[in-house]
Amino acid sequence: MQRVPDIQDIKLLVVDIDGTIAGKSNRLSQRVKQTLDSVKAKGIHIAIATGRMYRSALLFYEEIGSSLPLIAYQGAWIQEPSTNKVHRHLSVSKELAHQLLDYFEQPELRNLLSVHFYINDELFIRELTPDTKAYAKRSNIKPIAVGDLRSSLATNEPTKILALCNDTNMINNIFQHLRKQYDPSELYLTTSVPTFFEAANPSVNKGIWRSL
């Protein structure tokens, strides 16, 4: 029979932000802080693995007092805050980014979706929609409106592409359609929440700690 691990066997705790250490308030509660302090007092290291932008996750990283690399963008971006060294960065090719943008800008979709391109840990958008404004406020970031998102692809590849819509059926339809268009070896597609459609490099994985 396999032995059940004892608390003394645990050396690392990896936590997400949204829905884990931060609730609807977008802050760490006193109870969460006390729990994490108790974990650290037992000699267990704490790391963050999140779908958020690196810059958006950094505040939480500092608040929990982690000393390990920060895993952002579902594992596509791993950076050491103490030295700013980027250990890993996986991006979506320009070709695929253009294809997705062409799809999102079809007449029947264009005015219903808020499209985000994440490049060099900056958020590029067409225009500031109510959905994007709410997203930016929660993420504590300032989006860059460029009009035509193709201009942002001139010299860079996006780390992640996100389409937002309050119509969850539409997001699901987009997901179901595009998962038939692209093999998992080409793109990692997910709906992290019912109103978000996300596309990233196929090698992304928030569980990357297992291989580090």
In this predicted model, what pLDDT tens digit does every residue of 144-170 receive, in sequence order? 999 999 999 998 999 999 999 999 999
Question: In which band, very low, low, confident or very high, does the pLDDT at 201 lie, cut at 50, 70 and 90?
Answer: very high
Dihedral sign computed on CA atoms, order 172, 174, 175, 177? positive
Tokens standing for residue 104:
């999102």
Share of residues in the chain with pLDDT > 90 (%): 83
pTM, rounded to two decimals: 0.89
Question: Which pLDDT score is estimated for 4?
Answer: 54
Share of residues in the chain with pLDDT > 70 (%): 92
Q: Which domains does the chain have, with CATH numbers?
A: 7-89 (3.40.50.1000), 94-200 (3.30.1240.10)
Is residue 18 pLDDT above 70, yes or no? yes
Question: Which pLDDT score is estimated for 199?
Answer: 97
Tokens standing for residue 36:
């994490």
Give the range among 24-28, 174-178, 203-207 with minimum mean pLDDT.
203-207
Most confident among 26-30, 94-98, 190-194 (mean pLDDT): 94-98
CA distance 140 to 85: 22
Question: Which pLDDT score is estimated for 192?
Answer: 83
The phi, psi pair for 151, rounded to 5°, reads -65, -30
The whole-number average pLDDT for the span 35-62 is: 94
CA distance 163 to 13: 31
Question: Which pLDDT score is estimated for 19?
Answer: 84
- Give every CB contact of residue 177 below 8 A, 6+ residues apart in sequence: none
- Give every CB contact of residue 84 below 8 A, 6+ residues apart in sequence: none
In this predicted model, what pLDDT tens digit does every residue of 109-150 receive, in sequence order? 999 999 999 999 999 999 999 999 999 999 999 999 999 999
CA distance 40 to 33: 11
CB-CB contact of 91 with 159 (8 Å)? yes
* Stronger pLDDT, 210 or 77, i.e. the higher one: 77
CA–centroid distance for 194 within its chain:
15
Beta-carbon neighbour count of residue 106 at 10 Å?
9
Question: Which pLDDT score is estimated for 10?
Answer: 84
CA–centroid distance for 189 within its chain:
12
Question: Which pLDDT score is estimated for 208?
Answer: 56
Average pLDDT, the chain: 92
CB-CB contact of 77 with 55 (8 Å)? no
Tell me the longest C-alpha to C-alpha distance in the chain.
61
Residue 208, helix vs strand vs coil? helix
